[in-house]
Amino acid sequence: MRILVVNPNTTASMTQTIAAAARAAAGPQTTIEAVTSCTGPASIEGYFDEALSVPGLLDLIREGERAGCDAAVIACFDDTGLDAARAMAAIPVLGICESALSLAACIAKRIAIVTTDERARIPIEELAIRYGMGSRVRVRVAGIPVLALEDPTSGASGRLRDEIRYALDHDHVEAIVLGCAGMADLAHRLQGEFGVPVIDGVGAAVKQAEALVALGLATSKRGAYAAPAPKRFSGTMAPFSTLAAEAV
Amino acid sequence: MRILVVNPNTTASMTQTIAAAARAAAGPQTTIEAVTSCTGPASIEGYFDEALSVPGLLDLIREGERAGCDAAVIACFDDTGLDAARAMAAIPVLGICESALSLAACIAKRIAIVTTDERARIPIEELAIRYGMGSRVRVRVAGIPVLALEDPTSGASGRLRDEIRYALDHDHVEAIVLGCAGMADLAHRLQGEFGVPVIDGVGAAVKQAEALVALGLATSKRGAYAAPAPKRFSGTMAPFSTLAAEAV
Amino acid sequence: MRILVVNPNTTASMTQTIAAAARAAAGPQTTIEAVTSCTGPASIEGYFDEALSVPGLLDLIREGERAGCDAAVIACFDDTGLDAARAMAAIPVLGICESALSLAACIAKRIAIVTTDERARIPIEELAIRYGMGSRVRVRVAGIPVLALEDPTSGASGRLRDEIRYALDHDHVEAIVLGCAGMADLAHRLQGEFGVPVIDGVGAAVKQAEALVALGLATSKRGAYAAPAPKRFSGTMAPFSTLAAEAV
Amino acid sequence: MRILVVNPNTTASMTQTIAAAARAAAGPQTTIEAVTSCTGPASIEGYFDEALSVPGLLDLIREGERAGCDAAVIACFDDTGLDAARAMAAIPVLGICESALSLAACIAKRIAIVTTDERARIPIEELAIRYGMGSRVRVRVAGIPVLALEDPTSGASGRLRDEIRYALDHDHVEAIVLGCAGMADLAHRLQGEFGVPVIDGVGAAVKQAEALVALGLATSKRGAYAAPAPKRFSGTMAPFSTLAAEAV
Amino acid sequence: MRILVVNPNTTASMTQTIAAAARAAAGPQTTIEAVTSCTGPASIEGYFDEALSVPGLLDLIREGERAGCDAAVIACFDDTGLDAARAMAAIPVLGICESALSLAACIAKRIAIVTTDERARIPIEELAIRYGMGSRVRVRVAGIPVLALEDPTSGASGRLRDEIRYALDHDHVEAIVLGCAGMADLAHRLQGEFGVPVIDGVGAAVKQAEALVALGLATSKRGAYAAPAPKRFSGTMAPFSTLAAEAV
Amino acid sequence: MRILVVNPNTTASMTQTIAAAARAAAGPQTTIEAVTSCTGPASIEGYFDEALSVPGLLDLIREGERAGCDAAVIACFDDTGLDAARAMAAIPVLGICESALSLAACIAKRIAIVTTDERARIPIEELAIRYGMGSRVRVRVAGIPVLALEDPTSGASGRLRDEIRYALDHDHVEAIVLGCAGMADLAHRLQGEFGVPVIDGVGAAVKQAEALVALGLATSKRGAYAAPAPKRFSGTMAPFSTLAAEAV
């Protein structure tokens, strides 16, 4: 089984962190193909960055699907472009926020999502509501740039721990979800430190992808995720014309 | 006052319909600047088309803002790219679904949205829920391609009327919202035929835009719509690097 | 275009504040006709005052409609009598809470409503829920009588500012809605002071009224807002008998 | 124990039906004092009638409380004026929709409310949502004027039965709530005919009133139901000035 | 009228407290038959204890029904086994959380439930949501074992009062619901101390039971509470085989 | 990895169906240990049967955990006893309704659950609401006893297909979830016949269990799922005393 893991930002070092977490989670018969987008922002912080990363990630998923991948994971906690990718692709596509919450819901009633930038607070709260977890989730923001997670001298890690501690002490949460793909390497250590489950979405999504493929399940092509109607795309989006035609 | 009205699909004839509706709605001191995207799909039917129209429309709003427009309207009923545009721009940005529902809510309790393609049903239901109108809205789908609205021989208009009639007879609705920018010319006639309010989102959004500008209100730059953090954009998105830098 | 603005309490000096805000918001071709109720409480603080102000305001709206007004605004933040007025009148009727939230929703995700008396907290929270904004709104109460807003020595203005500051610092809000018609004169100044959008409902409702009239939209007379069935009214309500008969 | 039962419309014959149902429900030590409003509409069908019946019913509750009644019931299924009455009075005040749903919820999961006039459909659905029962309630409208319930030749009773039958056959409901005080005499017979619980709100509210009084519980005078602030009432509402002063 | 009050834990001294509260609430023609379970945990703190107390309480309700009781009350605030008991029995069955919230909702808008053990926080919040009161209820946990309520030297009573005080000062609550059957004796005293309504669920449920019986209402046997299908039960559950057969 | 799959009814032949589905879903390094309860009902249809199956299934999970199983699956679509099992056990425990919906949500927006007995309709709708999927799920009932699924002459399979067809034609659903563990063998065939994803909860839960174990995640022992407080259990529940003591 080959699972494509797309880092929809253009920072290759973050793809390394993501790929390592994906491989650690994957089963022995799964190959992880981790790719970095070359179209869009260097990190994804809020609605604007999100939107501009979508064509790049769709392109990568289209290529991955053609190359025979069995499923795809979008490794950004905002689940950027997830619905569009599901409509486009025949293979299953997973989001790391949705997958993390789905596993967290099986082991805890109330959950804190700890994220980086203030711009991400409400997009993540909206996701929790959309996934039916609005009343069970508390979002806490560490106030750090996404890329600071890669810099050990940034103090980012201390800020994260402060927010986890606060959530445990004041919000009655029972588990922690890491609200950024760039934190994927921290789950194990933080779980040890805090003594509660700490869930990384990259690993969670890889397992959901494996599950769907193993069970012979793919995205429904009826209704909201029906294949795109064939039509002309213009400008820098022209390459997608072919795909829409093929999708019929 | 200058209001930019962006047709985020690339079909210029639809922009004509939209522009006419916008001008009919605009006050005497408002200039409507209607533009057609040159980047993305020829029509927007579902999540995939939506996502690929966003960079093009953001580009147009950025240009419009630089050229001195006071507000922008995104003329696609899926409110495509709305949050991203609000985060990017300093001027107010309006979506036609949100605006239509906001006015409809002042004159009716239960509302039917009549739309075109089956792929749009659930995205529109999700919007209604996000805008807090989930229990008041019923979505009805005419099963016609968006561009068939432009072809008088397509039977599209009859299909629309059938759905309106059905909604009035079975769903206890009290007003109709036209669920596609391409229907903007039909509101007045259908209102006469069916004897209930028929709301077109393009006109509604132009009036909301005028309202915000007149009241001196612009998008909050705190929290979810804070200006994008400056960062590098790559590939076909590279032009947005400048903007993100300026936004600081 | 003539817009009737009804102050449903009997304090004429508050009508002056409201009328000034309405006129400042109105377009050049709009005439504001501001009237003060002569039936009911001197200020509206909670459910009891609300209920007793309704017959007086319905009477004024009926008269205004007969005199040719094109729309009506009820200038009390509790949206007192709004549904009854919409059922009674053929012209559009706007509430200032609904209008304020509707504009606020276009420029911010999370919104604080700052109001006066503790009795108003839950009625306003209930309105936010009814308008589908329950999860986006935080209500803060300054603990001041409504009429203290008119007395510069009362300290009311300082209490308001304290609550706004608190909401910005602790509730992650991005915009402020003024939760009382008597605050209508403060929006501009507070917006300058706090650097976030500050929305006054009187201005917002005037613009919504202008929008509906310009678009040829009036309250649906089907379903919940159908004209009242003709019937006898007794006692001090007897004058409404005629109206119900006419409404048929 | 003395329970005041207010018919907030001015039709005395309907008060007889209500009083009989109240007495049949009351315990042996309870006296029912049934009164008819002399201020307002002859029947209550929709928001407009509702609003104009409130001052009359508040007046009657105020008098009843002064005369020593221990609790009050508002016998209109729209729970007209309920919040205002609770803020005004020190004794408990019950609404028949709230009480009926509260008992129905203990004996059935899904409940049909069968009511009279189309104008009442959405007000009742809104009540069900406000009382937290939105997903459990289905409203069915018989399309009959309220006062037709008093005329055996009107066919009203047949229309009601048709709607009950439809609800049982198509909506998976398990119990029926009678959605108008004027139906109070039908509960027992319909329960026999249809073999499911049929709940009349008048009886339900009398029992809730007895329960609160027996348990020494009265409306909280903190927050939303705090006694009205003393203030001047003008015009036909002037008599309420005294009350507001006393309430302090 | 005979009302069975089941203490579903095995601590007979707590049954005494419960029985006293039930008798104090009951009308003069009601006999309270208070019984203690002999199967299950000594106290009920969280999901595990709840589940294991259900067969014991079902057994007692079955016996009580056979012996001619007219209604049953389950005296555990988690409303343990309530749906199962309603499906099993022909007589009405009441839960003390549901009944307490139902009465509280008639006299206050916002309500605090004060409970004992941290394990009960989320089960009670889930109940409030299920009963449609999620947005009106705040749960506060005193951090005491249930059985400490019976020990005057445990400090439990002081902890409870601390939480009530906190809820009144910080959560804008207007009434208090006692979140454990073992607190049933405290309602009257706490109401005097804090000056707001304090509701004990045991008394509330007894009154709801009296109401249903007096009105001739019993659990619907259609749909979710239909009598159990006859089938074989094995092991320690074998005695229930008979009952399921009889229920047809 | 060893996964315990508990059939909480006492019908061993159904355990065979369940075990086969579990094994088909399990990875190559997973051992499925399928067990049949010997305490409780022969099939689970509604709240009553559910409640009486819980002690038996808890017992089996306790034994399985002691014997070294790494996770447990409760193979009844009502997710019977799930919260109690999670509080009791240290290993992860999965429910088949929760797991099925969790995977279905990744491949479809709107989902039909097709189940057997009318008694299960509302319990399953309540689960969908609890899992945050209320607006996305439609429940359809085939009107067949659970055990009829095992009898090829019962017509059960035809009834199921009728409901699936109806849901696809009228409810705009995009995927089917099989609402009973006894249908686990049908998923593959029905998916082929209807051309939409058909999800069986047994397979889904096995994959979720493998995912949690592989990721090193177990149920949080903080808050709602904290280990049971040690206490005495009486009567037929006495064996659980030990466990509660050990859990500390």
Digit-coded pLDDT (tens) for D179-196:
999 998 999 999 999 999
Q: How many other CB atoms are there within 10 angstroms of residue F67's CB atom?
A: 10
Alpha carbons C113 and C179: distance in angstroms, whole number? 6
- Mean pLDDT over all residues of chain C? 96
Residues C73 and C119 grouped into a single domain: no
Residues B137 and B18 grouped into a single domain: no
**Does the pLDDT at position B245 exceed 90?**
no
Residues F134 and F222 grouped into a single domain: no
* Distance (Å) of CA A230 to CA A242, A248, B44, B142, B149: 8, 7, 11, 19, 17
- Whether chain A has a CB inside 8 Å of the CB on F124: the answer is no
Q: Which pLDDT value is given to residue F242?
A: 72
Q: Which one of A9, A15, A45, A47 would you mutate to disrupt binding with B, by most B Cβ within 10 Å of its Cβ?
A: A47
- Whether chain F has a CB inside 8 Å of the CB on B134: the answer is yes
Amino acid at C94: L
Strand partners, A141: A115
Residue entry with tokens 């979506």: B95
Alpha-carbon dihedral sign for residues E100, E103, E105, E108 = negative
- Whether chain B has a CB inside 8 Å of the CB on F221: the answer is no
Q: What percent of chain A has pLDDT over 90?
A: 93
Alpha carbons A81 and D62: distance in angstroms, whole number? 60
Residues E174 and E152 grouped into a single domain: yes
Measured in angstroms, the CA of A174 and the nearest CA of chain E are apart by 11
* Distance (Å) of CA E195 to CA A187, D217, E179, F4: 49, 11, 18, 54
Q: How many other CB atoms are there within 10 angstroms of residue C23's CB atom?
A: 16
**F172 interaction partners in chain B (CB closer than 8 Å):** 121-122
Q: Which two tokens stand for residue D194?
A: 């249809």
Residues C15 and C70 grouped into a single domain: yes
Q: What percent of chain A has pLDDT over 70?
A: 98
Instruction: Give the DSSP letter of residue E185.
Output: G
- Whether chain F has a CB inside 8 Å of the CB on B121: the answer is yes
**Does the pLDDT at position E164 exceed 70?**
yes
Residue A170's pLDDT band (boundaries 50, 70, 90)?
Answer: very high
Q: Which pLDDT value is given to residue C34?
A: 98
Cβ–Cβ under 8 Å, residues B191 and C216: yes
Q: Which two tokens stand for residue E185?
A: 């004796």
pLDDT: which is higher, A139 or F242 = A139
Low-confidence ranges of chain C (pLDDT < 50): none
Q: Which one of E220, E221, E225 would you mutate to disrupt binding with D, by most D Cβ within 10 Å of its Cβ?
A: E220
Average pLDDT over residues E121-147: 96
Kindly report the CATH number assigned to the domain that includes residue D237. 3.40.50.12500
Residues F74 and F38 grouped into a single domain: yes
Listed in sequence order, the residues at least 6 apart from B166 whose beta carbon sits closer than 8 Å to its beta carbon are B140
Q: How many residues does chain F have?
A: 248
Residue range A43-72, pLDDT digits in tens: 999 999 999 999 999 999 999 999 999 999
Strand-strand pairing, C233-234 and D40-41: antiparallel
Alpha carbons B141 and B153: distance in angstroms, whole number? 19
Runs of H (alpha helix) within chain C: 12-25, 47-66, 82-88, 96-104, 121-130, 156-170, 187-194, 201-214, 240-247
- Whether chain A has a CB inside 8 Å of the CB on C109: the answer is yes
Q: Which pLDDT value is given to residue C184?
A: 87
Q: Which pLDDT value is given to residue E244?
A: 60
Q: Which pLDDT value is given to residue E150?
A: 87
Cβ–Cβ under 8 Å, residues A127 and A79: yes
3-state secondary structure chain F: CEEEEEECCCCHHHHHHHHHHHHHHCCCCCEEEEEECCCEECCCCCHHHHHHHHHHHHHHHHHHHHCCCCEEEECCCCCCCHHHHHHHCCCCEEEHHHHHHHHHCCCCCCEEEEECCHHHHHHHHHHHHHCCCCCCEEEEECCCCHHHHHCCCCCHHHHHHHHHHHHHHHCCCCEEEECCHHHHHHHHHHHHHHCCCEEEHHHHHHHHHHHHHHCCCCCCCCHHHCCCCCCCEEHHHCCHHHHHHHHC
Question: Is residue E50 packed enough to be buried (19+ CB in 10 Å), middle (13-18) or exposed (0-12)?
Answer: buried
Q: Which two tokens stand for residue E114?
A: 């004060």
Cβ–Cβ under 8 Å, residues E103 and E204: yes
- Whether chain D has a CB inside 8 Å of the CB on E13: the answer is no
Closest CA to F160 of F182, F137, F142: F142
Total domains in chain E come to 2
**F129 interaction partners in chain D (CB closer than 8 Å):** 135
Average pLDDT over residues A143-164: 93
Subunits next to D (3 or more Cβ pairs <8 Å) are B, C, E, F
> DSSP characters for D174-196?
-EEEE-SGGGGGGHHHHHHHHSS
Alpha carbons A181 and D52: distance in angstroms, whole number? 59
- Whether chain E has a CB inside 8 Å of the CB on D91: the answer is no
Number of helices (H), then strands (E), belonging to chain E: the values are 9, 10
Amino acid at B201: G
Average pLDDT over residues E65-91: 97
Strand partners, E198: E176
Residues D117 and D147 grouped into a single domain: yes
Q: Which pLDDT value is given to residue F48?
A: 97
Q: Which pLDDT value is given to residue B244?
A: 60
For C139, half-sphere exposure in the C-beta direction (CA atoms, 13 angstrom radius) is 26
- Compute CA F166 distance to the chain's CA centroid, rounded to the nearest angstrom: 24
Cross-chain Cβ contact E110/C129 below 8 Å:
no
Alpha carbons D14 and A7: distance in angstroms, whole number? 70
**Does the pLDDT at position D129 exceed 90?**
yes
Subunits next to B (3 or more Cβ pairs <8 Å) are A, C, D, F
Residues F113 and F174 grouped into a single domain: yes
Alpha carbons F197 and F195: distance in angstroms, whole number? 7
Residue range B69-90, pLDDT digits in tens: 999 999 999 999 999 999 999 9
Reduced DSSP (H G I as helix, E B as strand, rest coil) percent helix, strand, coil of chain E, to 5: 50, 15, 35
Q: Which two tokens stand for residue C221?
A: 């007379």
Cross-chain Cβ contact C224/D49 below 8 Å:
no
* Distance (Å) of CA A30 to CA A3, A26, A95, F22, F24: 7, 6, 18, 20, 18
**Does the pLDDT at position D248 exceed 70?**
no
Cβ–Cβ under 8 Å, residues A192 and A198: no
**Does the pLDDT at position A248 exceed 60?**
no
Domain containing A153 equals 98-201
Q: Which pLDDT value is given to residue A245?
A: 63
**Does the pLDDT at position D247 exceed 60?**
no
For B23, half-sphere exposure in the C-beta direction (CA atoms, 13 angstrom radius) is 10
For C27, half-sphere exposure in the C-beta direction (CA atoms, 13 angstrom radius) is 24
Average pLDDT over residues A197-201: 98
ipTM value > 0.85: yes
Residue range D203-215, pLDDT digits in tens: 999 999 999 999 9
Residues D47 and D142 grouped into a single domain: no
Strand partners, D3: D32, D71
**F76 interaction partners in chain E (CB closer than 8 Å):** none
Residue range B187-202, pLDDT digits in tens: 999 999 999 999 999 9
E61-72 burial, b for 16+ CB within 10 Å, e for fewer?
A: bbebbeeebbbb
Strand-strand pairing, B137-141 and B111-115: parallel
Alpha carbons C144 and A212: distance in angstroms, whole number? 59
Residue range C174-221, pLDDT digits in tens: 999 999 999 989 999 999 999 999 999 999 999 999 999 999 999 999
Question: Is residue E241 packed enough to be buried (19+ CB in 10 Å), middle (13-18) or exposed (0-12)?
Answer: middle
- Whether chain E has a CB inside 8 Å of the CB on F215: the answer is no
**C110 interaction partners in chain A (CB closer than 8 Å):** 122
Residues B125 and B69 grouped into a single domain: no
Question: Is residue D169 packed enough to be buried (19+ CB in 10 Å), middle (13-18) or exposed (0-12)?
Answer: exposed
Coil, strand or helix: which one is A30? coil
Average pLDDT over residues B48-70: 98
Residue range D62-91, pLDDT digits in tens: 999 999 999 999 999 999 999 999 999 999
Q: Which pLDDT value is given to residue B191?
A: 97
Q: Which two tokens stand for residue F117?
A: 């007995």
Q: Which two tokens stand for residue A1?
A: 């089984």
Lowest model confidence (mean pLDDT) among A147-156, E4-13, F36-45: A147-156
Residues B81 and B111 grouped into a single domain: no
Q: Which one of A172, A173, A174 would you mutate to disrupt binding with E, by most E Cβ within 10 Å of its Cβ?
A: A172
Average pLDDT over residues E39-49: 97
Q: Which one of C122, C129, C133, C136 would you mutate to disrupt binding with E, by most E Cβ within 10 Å of its Cβ?
A: C122
Local mean pLDDT, 10-residue blocks, chain F (248 residues): 98 97 97 98 97 98 97 98 97 98 98 97 98 98 92 92 97 97 93 98 98 98 96 95 66
Instruction: Give the DSSP letter of residue A8.
Output: -
Cβ–Cβ under 8 Å, residues C95 and C205: yes
Closest CA to B198 of B155, B164, B150, B163: B164
Residues E65 and E134 grouped into a single domain: no
Q: What percent of chain D has pLDDT over 90?
A: 93
* Distance (Å) of CA D158 to CA C81, D77, D190: 35, 20, 11
